[in-house]
């Protein structure tokens, strides 16, 4: 609750700063404010200890994921300074929308009441619809905003219908009451219908098969920094929420539905990886790779009792690698109209540092040791083995091998091909480099001492 | 008396919903949808939910329908150039809808009404007074978060419609 209040205050403060003409101070002040919010969240400062009728429940789970979201937002806000240079008069709107995105994400994972869950989800999604379509002069951005809005509202509708059915069956929005009602044999059958509908809506939000069709178009059309927030913040928030909801209803859902979810996780991994092989646009490729990562993260759903720390570790590793990759993509593709992989030709010679960071980020996503991505996969597979789901591990390993191919396609372009374009020496902003290096350092640090993260749970 | 009203309203709801879907002219569809919304508000009133009925009329029949009519007129959609879908799509859609309908109907017919006997508590739970108290006590956090949601939507609308200085 303290985190939410602090963040809402910060978002309003940004708008006030715009009014009193302090536009230049917005980004540094926001980063300071976010660091303060990170301190409040991580150190569990309890200024208000009321739990407001169990609306917001602060657990270790919500604390850790909120901290991760705040760190991701710090990176995104830092990149905004340069990214929105050409529309600088709108910077306060963009930054405050990013803070609202964070509020929605925090609200979604710390809910204790389904109304809070839905409002958090809506804050998160509506902010993303706006940010996806925030470049009205570009037809691709319009397409992305429209597609995401139409399909996303259907998913929200499913979730709302599901919540209504759950309410109908248990007569409460409160999670404690609901988990008691689940154990009661007199609870009507249509509770499971509600659970299925909510799960479907959340599967849409994490872009799992067969609800993934929006992801590539939306990721490609949106401004790159929005793509970065979608593939890190929004995806991890939706995944963590799905995990939390699944943990509540796990004892209730039928065996057949669990089998269906296992199949969906496997097919999601395959669809993401196989489609990514053929892409020539790097944002589209990362969209498909994001789909396959959603499939990997779904492995955690089948061992909810023991996989919390593993899911957090994987999500953090994936997010930091993604942030690093997107920072480099923004810097490299700033002068091009699109984000073709061929723009990266010769980057290894022109700018060895950026090429090295992008290589490390992609290697982490592929799951090569020392980088956190490897240990993330390792821990998730371990949790699947503990719960006796050998098939998930087998298909997961096969998919890791497939994914290496397309990640190396980009690395190959950077190092073994000559640059084709005669673009003037671009002066890459130091912000992108700093963000990318910091993100990848966090990733490597996590890879070097994984226990420091796992022991936090 | 109430039963007759219920069947009358249901007939109007279903009938106008069908005409909404089947009519070729989008403007006619929109107008029939207004009728449909009004009759649903009638259902709420029959269930003794006056507040919900009023809000439904204000929000759906008022605000949302005006928005839809504006969109139709602004985008010149009233010239009907319907793209007919292939037969396979139609068949698949029908089968999928029937399956969903079957699941919903079979699940919902198993439910028993939560209260067999009505107890008169002496308090009017439909009054705005009670609703306000619940919103401000038990549900005060979601209420405030809705304020955040609205503020954010407003900023978003401004952001999208603001002109870029370079182009202007």
> Can you tell me the mean pLDDT for A217-244?
92
∠ Cα B28 B30 B31 (to 5°): 65
| Digit-coded pLDDT (tens) for A249-304 | 888 888 899 999 999 999 999 999 999 998 889 999 999 999 999 999 999 998 88
Chain A residues touching B156 at Cβ < 8 A: 93, 97, 126-127, 129-130
Assign 3-class secondary structure to chain A.
CHHHHHHHHHHHHHHHHHHCCCHHHHHHHHHHHHHHHHHHHHCCCCCCCCCCCCCECCCHHHHHHHHHHHHHHHHHHHHHHHHCHHHHHHHHHHHHHHHHHHHHHHHHHCECEHHHHHHHHHHHHHHHHHHHCCCCCCHHHHHHHHHHHHHHHHHHHHHHHHHHHHHHHHCCCEHHHHHHHHHCCCCCCHHHHHHHHHHHHHHHHCCCCCCCCHHHHHHHHCCHHHHHHHHHHHHHHHHHHHHHHHHHHCCCCCHHHHHHHHHHHHHHHHHHHHHHCCCCEHHHHHHHHHHHHHHHHHHHHHHCCCCHHHHHHHHHHHHHHHHHHHHHHHHHHCCCCCCEHHHHCCHHHHCHHHHHHHHHHHHHHHCCCCCHHHHHHHHHHHHHHHCCCHHHHHHHHHHHHHHHHHHHHHHHHHHHCCCCCCCCCCCCCHHHHHHHHHHHHHHHHHHHCCHHHHCCC
At B12-51, the pLDDT tens digits run 999 999 999 888 888 888 889 999 999 999 999 888 888 8
With an 8 Å Cβ cutoff, is B159 touching chain A? Answer: yes
Residue-wise pLDDT for A294-340, tens only, equals: 999 999 998 888 888 999 999 999 999 999 999 999 888 887 877 88
Q: Whole-angstrom Cα distance, residue A332 to residue A357?
A: 13
Overall average pLDDT of the A382-402 stretch: 91
Q: Which residue in B135, B143, B156 has the most chain A C-beta atoms within 10 A of its own C-beta, making it the best mutation to test that interface?
A: B156
Find the distance separating the first CA and the last CA of chain A, reported in whole Å: 20
Chain A contact set for B166 (CB, 8 A)? 86
Confidence of residue A48 (pLDDT cuts 50, 70, 90): low
With beta carbons less than 8 A apart as the criterion, state whether A100 and A128 touch.
no
Contact A97 B159 (CB under 8 A): yes
CB distance from B162 to chain A under 8 Å? yes
Q: Which of B141, B155, B158 sits opposite A55 (nearest CB)?
A: B141
Quick check: A124 contacting B, CB < 8 Å? Answer: no
Look over chain A and give the mean of its residue pLDDT values, rounded to a whole number: 88
pLDDT of residue B168: 43
| Distance (Å) from the alpha carbon of A129 to chain B's nearest alpha carbon | 9
Which chain A positions have a beta carbon within 8 Å of B105's beta carbon?
none
Residue with tokens 């609703």: B131
ipTM associated with this complex:
0.87
What Rg do the C-alpha atoms of chain B give, in angstroms? 22
Residue A424 binned pLDDT confidence (cut-offs 50, 70, 90): low
CA distance B128 to B136: 12
Residue B167 reports pLDDT greater than 60? no
Could you say which residues from 157 to 186 on chain A have a Cβ atom under 8 Å away from some Cβ of chain B?
A: 168, 171
> pLDDT grade, residue A89 (50/70/90)?
confident
Q: Is the pTM of this model over 0.80?
A: yes
Task: Return the SS3 of B117.
Answer: coil
Q: Which of A127, A137, A168 sits opposite B167 (nearest CB)?
A: A137
Question: Which of B141, B144, B149, B166 is the best mutation test for A, with the most CBs of A within 10 A?
Answer: B141
Cα distances from A333 to residues A144, A337, A428, in angstroms, run 19, 8, 10
* CB proximity A121 to B under 8 Å: no
> Of A15, A87, A123, which has the smallest distance from its Cβ to B149's Cβ?
A123
Mean pLDDT of A90-118: 91
pLDDT band at A104 (very low <50, low <70, confident <90, very high): very high
Instruction: State pLDDT tens for residues B146-157.
Output: 999 999 999 999
Tens digits of residue pLDDT in B52-110: 898 999 998 888 888 888 888 887 765 656 667 788 988 999 999 999 899 888 877 77
Residues of B in contact with A90 (CB under 8 A): 159, 162
Kindly state the average pLDDT of the residues A91-95.
Answer: 89
Contacts with A346 (C-beta within 8 Å, 6 or more apart), sequence order? A414, A417, A418, A419, A420
Is B138 an 8 Å CB contact of chain A? yes
Lowest mean pLDDT among A179-188, A397-406, B89-98: A179-188
CA pair distance A352, B63, nearest whole angstrom = 57
CB pairs under 8 A between A and B: 86
Shortest alpha-carbon distance between residue A135 and chain B (Å): 8
The percentage of chain A sitting over the pLDDT mark of 90, rounded to a whole number, equals 49
Q: Write the residue in B103, B164, B165 that is nearest to A193 by C-beta.
A: B103
- What is the rounded CA–CA span in Å between residue A372 and residue A451? 11
* CA distance, residue B144 to nearest chain A CA (Å): 10
Task: Write the pLDDT tens digit of every residue in A197-217.
Answer: 999 999 999 998 889 899 999
Residue percentage of chain A with pLDDT more than 70:
97
A-chain residues near B102 (CB < 8 A): none
Asked if A90 and B159 come within 8 Å (Cβ–Cβ), the reply is: yes
Query: How far off is chain B from A134, nearest CA to CA, in Å?
Result: 6
Q: How many CB atoms lie within 10 A of CB B11?
A: 11
Segment holding B110, helix H or strand E = none
Min Cα separation A378/chain B (Å): 38
pLDDT score, position B105: 86
- Tokens representing B86 are 């292939």
Contact assignment for A116 to B145 by CB distance below 8 Å = yes
CA distance A139 to A133: 9
Beta bridge partners of A20: none
Q: Which of A115, A122, A133 sits opposite B160 (nearest CB)?
A: A133
- Residue A160's CB is within 10 A of a number of other CB atoms, namely 17
Percent of chain B with pLDDT over 70: 88
Report CB contact under 8 Å: A56, B107: no
Round to whole Å and give the CA distance between A83 and A101: 18
DSSP 8-state assignment for residue B122: S
* Interface contact A133-B111, CB threshold 8 A: no
**Among A181, A300, A326, which Cα is nearest to A241's?**
A300
Q: Place B114 in a pLDDT band, splitting at 50, 70 and 90.
A: low
Count the neighbouring beta carbons within 10 Å of the beta carbon of residue A442: 20
Residues paired with residue A43 on neighbouring β-strands, in sequence order: none
């Amino acid at each position: 609750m303290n985190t939410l209040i602090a963040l809402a205050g910060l978002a309003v403060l940004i708008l006030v700063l715009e009014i009193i003409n302090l536009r230049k101070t917005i980004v540094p002040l926001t980063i300071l404010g976010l660091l303060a919010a990170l301190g409040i969240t991580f150190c569990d400062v309890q200024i208000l200890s009321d739990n407001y009728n169990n609306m917001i429940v602060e657990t270790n789970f919500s604390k850790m994921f909120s901290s991760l979201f705040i760190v991701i937002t710090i990176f995104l806000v830092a990149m905004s300074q340069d990214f929105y240079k050409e529309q600088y008069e709108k910077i306060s709107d963009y930054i405050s929308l990013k803070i609202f995105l964070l509020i929605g994400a925090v609200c979604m994972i710390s809910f204790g009441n389904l109304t809070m869950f839905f409002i958090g989800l809506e804050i998160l999604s509506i902010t993303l619809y706006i940010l996806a379509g925030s470049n009205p002069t570009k037809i691709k951005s319009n397409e992305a905003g429209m597609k995401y809005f139409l399909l996303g509202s259907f998913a929200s509708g499913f979730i709302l219908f599901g919540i209504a059915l759950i309410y109908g069956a248990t007569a409460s929005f409160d999670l404690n009451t609901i988990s008691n009602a689940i154990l009661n044999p007199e609870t009507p059958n249509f509770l499971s219908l509600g659970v299925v509908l909510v799960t479907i809506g959340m599967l849409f939000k994490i872009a799992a098969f067969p609800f993934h069709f929006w992801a590539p178009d939306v990721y490609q059309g949106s401004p790159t920094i929005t793509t970065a927030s979608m593939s890190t913040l929004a995806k991890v928030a939706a995944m963590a929420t799905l995990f939390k909801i699944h943990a509540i209803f796990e004892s209730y859902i039928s065996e057949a539905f669990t089998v269906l979810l296992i199949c969906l996780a496997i097919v999601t991994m395959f669809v993401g990886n196989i489609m990514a092989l053929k892409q020539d646009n790097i944002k589209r490729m990362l969209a498909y790779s994001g789909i396959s990562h959603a499939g990997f993260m779904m492995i955690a759903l089948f061992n909810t009792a023991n996989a919390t720390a593993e899911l957090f570790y994987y999500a953090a590793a994936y997010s930091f690698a993604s942030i690093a990759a997107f920072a480099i993509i923004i810097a490299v593709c700033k002068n091009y109209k699109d984000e073709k992989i061929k723009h990266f030709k010769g980057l290894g010679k022109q700018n060895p540092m950026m090429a090295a960071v992008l290589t490390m980020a992609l290697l982490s996503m592929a799951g090569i040791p020392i980088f956190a991505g490897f240990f993330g996969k390792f821990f998730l597979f371990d949790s699947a083995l503990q719960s006796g789901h050998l098939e998930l591990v087998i298909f997961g390993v096969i998919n890791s091998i497939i994914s290496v191919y397309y990640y190396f396609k980009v690395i190959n372009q950077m190092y073994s091909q000559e640059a084709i374009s005669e673009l003037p020496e671009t002066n890459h902003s130091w912000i992108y480099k700093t963000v990318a290096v910091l993100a990848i350092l966090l990733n490597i640090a996590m890879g070097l001492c994984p226990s420091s993260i796992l022991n936090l749970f | 008396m109430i039963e007759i009203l219920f069947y009358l309203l249901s007939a109007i709801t279903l009938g106008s919903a069908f005409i909404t879907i089947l009519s070729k002219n989008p403007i006619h569809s929109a107008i029939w949808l207004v009728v449909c919304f009004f009759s649903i508000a009638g259902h709420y009133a029959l269930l003794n939910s006056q507040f919900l009925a009023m809000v439904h009329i204000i929000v759906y029949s008022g605000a949302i329908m005006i928005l839809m009519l504006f969109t139709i007129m602004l985008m010149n959609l009233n010239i009907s150039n319907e793209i007919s879908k292939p037969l396979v799509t139609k068949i698949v859609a029908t089968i999928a809808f029937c399956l969903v309908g079957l699941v919903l109907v079979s699940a919902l017919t198993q439910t028993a009404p939560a209260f067999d006997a009505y107890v008169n508590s002496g308090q009017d739970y439909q009054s705005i007074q009670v609703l306000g108290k619940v919103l401000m006590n038990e549900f005060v956090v979601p209420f405030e978060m809705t304020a955040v949601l609205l503020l954010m939507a407003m900023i978003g609308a401004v952001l999208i419609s603001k002109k870029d200085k370079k182009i202007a």
